[in-house]
Structure 1
Amino acid sequence: MYKNNNTFNTLIKIFTFLTFIVSASSCSRNKKDSELFFIQGNVAYKKGDYNKAIEYFTEAIEKTPEFADAYNNRGTARLALEDTDGAIADFEKAISLDSDFILAKYNLAEILSNTDRLDESFSLLNTIQKNYKDSSFYFVTLSNILILKNKFPEATQALQKALVLDKNNDKALTNLGVVKYQEQNFKEAKMYFEKAITLNPKQDYALNNLSMVYAQEDNYNKALELVDQALALKKSPLYENNKAYYLLNTNELANGKDIILKLLEKNPNNAWALRNMGVYELLNKNFPKALENLTKADQLDPTVELLNYYLGLSYYNSGNAIKACEHWRIGQKLNEEKSAKKLTEICK
């Protein structure tokens, strides 16, 4: 049968053109739907409905997979729900889609500054420094890294810059308190924590840290009051560990033990909880068990506060004064007043 090639080619071109129109129309519709979901996600986020916000941002991403802003905002919502891994993945994806996405880089740097990926965070902050030279919170994030690296003078400089830019930055004041606490300057630490709380009564980290200052003064009842306020604002293993420790020191051993066991059930390698269990066993005169828990805590994280003091007590009560003095000497080098006192009293 004879075929008109010109007609056939024309039909192909028309069909291809129509397909293109349909595809373009579909893409346009997806983009509009995506933008609508994105807006709804932002509204939900502002209302504090983070789960709903994540749903909307996910819908936006499904409609437009290259939507970098949706990834960034979903990361922010995930961070609000303490889904650290999910937030990091979203910020990283946003940056991979848009290498000039400054806000996503800052968000990623900030979250990494509270993890063991400090060098990556520091590198990211350096790449965006010129964009955030007038940002008080940029210098707070920088201070997070410097504090974790035990670079306290540099952290202080960063925080002073933050306060020049915003004298009412409660996070900067809280971090200055942390620096002073690490330097054993508890009077100034207390002042900074109290000022941060005055500016922001919901500054849970400052409330928790202030409780630690009162614990240093052996005022465990006040410490309990403050850590309970922090826990009412945010459920944190760090705060729960502190509460357990304060309960042990107010002779509420059963209540303290309950918290410790729950923490260890969630994470058997929680060094602070293991230290607290060691303290619990020490108070119950179960010295072998105390040593077992305290030694494990020391292997996991030798920087846990007062660990050497309690190891010394456990060894001393087990009849090993030599080992006890060894640990109190380490505690003295770490500026632990209680270890230094035991060293003077017992280790002549």
Structure 2
Amino acid sequence: MSFYEEGSQYLHKGQYRKAIDYFTLSIKRQIEVANSYFGRGLSQYYMKQNTDAIKDFDKAIELDAKNPNFYFYRGMANFNQFNPTKASENFDQVIAIDPNHFVAYHQKGYVLMNLNKYDEAIQCFNKSLEINPDYESCYHNRAFCYDQLQEFDKAIEDYSKVIALKPHFLSYYNRGNTYFILQDLEKALDDFNQSIELNPNHFLSYYNKGAILEKMEKQDEAIEEFKKALQLNPEFHLAAERLEYYQQQNS
């Protein structure tokens, strides 16, 4: 077994320091040099050593400029280093090499979303979903963009697609918030209940459930939800303020 193969095995097992040692030996022995730089960079990336990872991805790309994975993970590392411009450029290079790389379209969209460029982000998510219509993360992030653009019906449609594909508490929570904005309180309440069922420790779902119960004039039930939110996060001042308000009302 070569040093490169041993490094790859340790990388697969999540033993990143050992992987780095073997990839370094592989580079010194001139074995699978481009892939060894990439493997070492990937190990460093998973260890959150993004600066060193980028240096190794640069070396890998110098040796093999046609491998989309090298650009993809350099883009991910650049994003982690708060460099969205370079991250976006790397995802563009991935797409140039592999136009069907739906994850690269999604990641570019995610970068744009974090820059508040919601229309551009949606275009990237659309391209990703054209290639892979079952990519639930893409629906979730596109829904977030629609929420920010106040296109609430489209947001609800996308959150519903995520829930149909792979139910997640955040999708129920976010859809519940959108229903809340639209004053569809019954549907919002159902979604927060679903969110809590999937994640009983999500204090925001309890708080928002309490806020809906307040609007429904079910104050005793609302108080119980605020208490649960505060128990889960004792520093959550919004829940503390609501409970203090009711204490003053009842004193």
TM-score by length of 1: 0.52
Q: Is 1:253 aligned to residue 222 of structure 2? A: no
Q: Is the 8 A contact 1:113 1:144 kept in 2?
A: no
Matches within 5 A, 1:38-77: 38-41=7-10, 43-44=12-13, 50=14, 52=15, 54-64=16-26, 67-75=36-44
1:147 offset after TM fit, Å? 1.4
Aligned to 2:171: 209
1:141 offset after TM fit, Å? 1.0
TM-score by length of 2: 0.69
For residues 207 and 74 of structure 2, the distance between their equivalents in structure 1, rounded to whole angstroms, comes to: 33
1:144 offset after TM fit, Å? 0.7
Q: Is 1:162 aligned to residue 124 of structure 2? A: no
Shift of the 107–282 alpha-carbon distance from structure 1 to 2, 3 Å rule, reads same
Q: Is 1:150 aligned to residue 116 of structure 2? A: yes
Q: Is 1:171 aligned to residue 171 of structure 2? A: no
1:208 offset after TM fit, Å? 0.4
Question: Which consecutive aligned stretches of 4+ in structure 1 deviate over 6 angstroms post-superposition?
Answer: none
Shift of the 168–284 alpha-carbon distance from structure 1 to 2, 3 Å rule, reads closer
1:106 offset after TM fit, Å? 0.9
Q: Which has the larger radius of gyration?
A: 1
1:146 offset after TM fit, Å? 1.7
Q: Is the 8 A contact 2:8 2:39 kept in 1?
A: no
Shift of the 278–180 alpha-carbon distance from structure 1 to 2, 3 Å rule, reads same
Q: Is the 8 A contact 1:34 1:59 kept in 2?
A: no
Q: Is 1:108 aligned to residue 108 of structure 2? A: no
- 3-state SS in 1 of match to 2:233: helix
Aligned to 1:132: 98
The more displaced of 118-127 and 133-142 is 118-127
Q: Which has the higher contact order (CA 8 A, sep 6+)?
A: 2
2:6 partner amino acid = F
Shift of the 115–43 alpha-carbon distance from structure 1 to 2, 3 Å rule, reads closer
Matches within 5 A, 1:1-348: 32-41=1-10, 43-44=12-13, 50=14, 52=15, 54-64=16-26, 67-75=36-44, 78=46, 85-86=48-49, 88-89=50-51, 91-98=53-60, 99=62, 100=65, 102-110=68-76, 112-113=78-79, 116-201=82-167, 204=168, 207-216=169-178, 217=180, 218=185, 219-220=188-189, 222-226=191-195, 229=198, 231=199, 240=202, 242-243=204-205, 245-246=207-208, 249=211, 250-251=222-223, 252-261=225-234, 277-285=236-244
Q: Is the 8 A contact 2:163 2:172 kept in 1?
A: no
Q: Is the 8 A contact 1:186 1:213 kept in 2?
A: no
Shift of the 243–58 alpha-carbon distance from structure 1 to 2, 3 Å rule, reads farther
- 3-state SS in 2 of match to 1:187: helix
1:189 partner amino acid = A
For residues 228 and 117 of structure 1, the distance between their equivalents in structure 2, rounded to whole angstroms, comes to: 37
2:4 partner amino acid = E
Shift of the 114–256 alpha-carbon distance from structure 1 to 2, 3 Å rule, reads farther
In the alignment, structure 1 segments of 5+ residues that lack a partner are: 1-31, 45-49, 233-238, 265-276, 287-348
Deviations for 1:278-312, whole angstroms, at most 9, x for unmatched residues? 312321347xxxxxxxxxxxxxxxxxxxxxxxxxx
Identity %: 11
